[in-house]
A and B are shown apart, each in its own frame.
Chain A
Amino acid sequence: MLLAFLGSLILWARDATGEPAVTWLALGTGTGGLQIELGLKLDPLSRLMLLVVTGVGSAIHIYSWGYLHADRNRGRYFAGLSLFTFAMLGIVLANNFLMLFIFWELVGVSSYLLIGFWFARPAAAEAAKKAFLTNRLGDFGFLLGIILVWAALGTLSFTELEARLADDPAALGAAASVAGLLIFCGAMGKSAQFPLHVWLPDAMEGPTPVSALIHAATMVAAGVYMLCRVFFVLAVPGSVALELIAWIGGVTALLAALLAVQQNDIKRILAYSTLSQLGYMVLAVGVSGASRDPSVAMYHLTTHAGFKALLFLGAGSVIHALHHEQDIWKMGGLSRRLPITFWTFLLATLALCGVPPLSGFYSKDAIIARTLESGHHGLFALATLVAALTTFYMFRLVFVAFTGPAKSQAADHARESPPVMTLPLLALAVPSVLAGFWGIHRVYGAQYGAEPAAAGSWAQQLVEPFAHAPLAAGAGLAAALMGWLGAWAWYRAALQDPLPARFATVARWLRDRLYFDELYERLIGWTQESLARLADGVDRWVIMGVAVKGTHGTFELLGRLLRLAQTGNLQTYAFVLVAGVALLLFLVMAR
């Protein structure tokens, strides 16, 4: 894994002059049929994504060594983890839709294996199933979208598709919106966007490093990455896909942020936070239609991968130290006992909240500024609100878990995790701090043909957001401050959550996740019931009634008719015989 990371670094260093694409294998026959060229596509987009996947992946592999050192099934765990990483790299490097889809499915399978790693626990098995099925739902749409694109344009290769759409933007015609939305369905499943978001919080049943891998660097990022990869399909003029994508992203961000406020499980808070940030990224893709440049989404994805992995690994470290206690109200005072975990966790939290000069500030600010630039004022307000909420729930977590008195026996006796776990934390803290002014977004910008801005000094980049879009930056900062103040006022020294007492109904609704699971259960139950009834009706009336009974009835009727002729009376037969003779005679004579 480390080797892969180093390889990615080397690739990175070789810059864009290297081979842009490698074709491995050409499938398909003749000229008319389905022609697939399996190959690798190496452009700035995939190169940086490689760096993210391998970098975070390496950290998580090392960390897992410590986290699972006592587990007997370690072999299976690492096999799953490696398969997952492999599949993810496949997605990143795929040069056509089909290959992308294959690895996409592979990611789904390996995530199923990893979430259900502790399959003896019913909740884990259920969560794995749920994640898989929800993903299938999205993938179905994705596949339909791919087929639609292929039917309209006759090729699945990204390069060819892009060239063809650049030649003739109307090539997809009326199908553009539909195809875009269907493809987005796939991203919706993998990146857990609003209607299909339910699997992500449940996926927390897996081991914590898996949560880090899935939620930070890879699986959920795959959706956003894919959206950016096929952005040229989505951004076809006249397509309403992007608009819808933007709003779905916004709604997801807000919803998840609200839900996160009332969760008590440390991993669930982080999961909803991930959902919220993914909503941000999707929102960013959606509002990039005018500028034809979704690089801000990838920018946020990259920074988010860093600090969210850090958060999850920190949470894992806490859980490990407290012997698998995940309720934040049973923690407290951990800042003294787990100093490294605390400081890295705090750093990541600040990054997530968008405090300059940490990485999150820059990427988040870029998104907020983009919404403002593209004229989506509603979405701008939404994004700002979500930013405030993010700070609020993250600091609620920090205050309750790390400061104040210890709220349980286990928290009192917690000890810092071994170095094999803390080292990755430290390693990941570096990009969380620095990623903001590495100018990552300019790398992505190159992918979409934006002219490279003059690379200024670090100091210039440090203050660039303020110079570029002061309103957005100010709003983001104000939101973060407001959130922090709220959390500070309510949770600084709280022993219990004060919110349920004040807003009982709202808090209960939020804690129960707005009853999405129940709604889906009803909906799916009802649909299945109806379908079953329909099938039953078809079986009973069409197959049994028309096909079986109809056949039987027809022949019975024919039989009854023929039976009328069989009187058993000799003279009737004689009569028929004579009639036949007469007929023959007549025919002979008539000739």
Chain B
Amino acid sequence: MSVGLTHYLVVSLLLFCLGLFGVLVRRNLLVMFMSLELMLNAANLALVAFARYHHNLSGQIMVFFIITVAAAEVAVGLALIVALYRQRRTAHVEDLASLRL
């Protein structure tokens, strides 16, 4: 059985759901962040697969941009986490409930 678009999409789906589960369940900020990256990568995979099977390079261009933005996002997010940790001495999301009244 040859590998088709659907196969790639299923893999992408699985990875996306794993990432989502991590974001929702894990409570370490860093691990949540990594789960987020996983979700982005799943999206990347889907885009590349579409580009391949729909004869359109624009999907790859999009992935290129996503990677760039993700890099910037990771940099800023990690800087925020560091700053937060310096103030609160914790990277645990349940300890960061200052949004609550």
Contact = CB atoms under 8 A, between A and B. Distances in A.
B20 interface: yes
Contacts of B101: 563, 566
Interface string B24-36: 1101000010000
A574 B23 contact: yes
A568 B20 contact: no
A457 interface: no
A566 B100 contact: yes
Nearest to A573: B99
Interface in A532-570: 563, 566-570
Given A563-B101, A566-B100, A568-B100, A578 B20 contact: yes
A586 interface: no
B93 interface: yes
A503 interface: no
Interface string A569-582: 11100110010000
B100 A570 contact: no
B27 A571 contact: yes
A575 B25 CA distance: 9
Nearest to B94: A569
Contacts, number: 28
A570 B94 CA distance: 8
Contacts of A566: 99-101
A574 B19 CA distance: 12
Contact of B99 (A568, A571, A578): A568
A279 to B, nearest CB: 77
A567 B100 contact: yes
A322 B41 CA distance: 121
Interface in A263-278: none
B72 interface: no
B87 interface: no
Contacts of B100: 566-569
A574 B24 contact: yes
A568 B99 CA distance: 4
B97 A569 contact: yes
B2 interface: no
Contacts of A575: 24
A569 B20 CA distance: 16
B79 interface: no
Nearest to A559: B101
Contacts of B99: 566, 568
Nearest to B93: A570
A150 B27 CA distance: 82
Q: Quick one: which of B23, B25, B96 has the most chain A CB within 10 A? A: B23
A523 B96 CA distance: 70
A132 B32 CA distance: 86
A562 to B, nearest CB: 10
B97 A578 contact: no
A236 B32 CA distance: 95
A566 B99 CA distance: 8
Contact of A570 (B20, B25, B96): B96
B97 A567 contact: yes
Interface in A43-58: none
B94 A578 contact: no
A568 B24 contact: no
A568 B97 contact: yes
Nearest to B20: A578
Contacts of B32: 570
B8 to A, nearest CB: 20
Interface string A93-117: 0000000000000000000000000
A565 B100 CA distance: 10
Contacts of B96: 568, 570
Contacts of B94: 569
Nearest to A570: B93
Nearest to A575: B24
B29 to A, nearest CB: 8
A307 B68 CA distance: 119
Given A570-B32, A570-B93, A570-B96, 12 more contacts: A563-B101, A566-B99, A566-B101, A567-B97, A568-B96, A568-B97, A568-B100, A569-B93, A571-B25, A571-B27, A574-B23, A575-B24
24 contacts: A563-B101, A566-B99, A566-B100, A567-B97, A568-B96, A568-B97, A568-B98, A568-B99, A568-B100, A569-B93, A569-B94, A569-B97, A569-B100, A570-B32, A570-B96, A571-B23, A571-B24, A571-B25, A571-B27, A571-B93, A574-B23, A575-B24, A578-B20, A578-B24
4 closest cross-chain pairs (CB), A and B: A568-B100, A568-B97, A568-B99, A570-B93
